[in-house]
Structure 1
Amino acid sequence: MDYTLLAMVVLVAAVALGASANDRRVNRLERRLARMELKLDAIAGHLGVAVADPAQPQLADLPEVRKYLQEGKKIQAIKAYRESTGAGLKDAKDAVERML
């Protein structure tokens, strides 16, 4: 039997097992993080603290978008939002509509 082939099979199996173990670890950490976020949201809600989502830029951070919205130019506001944040069309549209 060709030992090179056998060594490659063993190597592929070891990499697959390692990747699988890493995926399980990441999934476990993601679940733990989600539970922590829920708890922090509950604490903030109980204390009456409003927490802005850092992934969502605020209107004050986007003066060009604010200007277009004040002028009633929704499409230009969406374009400006996309250019400023790099968001996709749907995400930009949803964000601009939330700002209205």
Structure 2
Amino acid sequence: MDNMETMDLIAILALVLALLLMLSVFSLKRRVHELESRLAQRDTYGGPSVQASSRTTDIPTPMFVQNPEIAPDLERRIRLLIAEGKKIQAIKVMREARNLSLKDAKDFVESLEQGGTFR
């Protein structure tokens, strides 16, 4: 083999290695996204109710997300977090449960702090 063939072979091997590394990165990014989704679901449910073996697509959407009128567990959780002085966590839970903006969730939690109603 002459010098040019060796350089071509090295370039091809480098390209294949780069592609394999890129596939690994995409696979890891997908896995991280799945784990983040599962953690968000776990926070929404208020505990470790999501089993480690389930996929994010297997996790049903909570009823209070599907229908905001069905929210007794969410209301209890928000009021408990407020009572414990965990206002930021209450805002986070509210944002995730109702898909609210940060301002709307903050306003909602603050109105509950002032004795407002949940609905």
Give me the TM-score of the superposition, normalised by structure 1: 0.48
Instruction: Specify which structure has the higher proportion of helix.
Output: 1
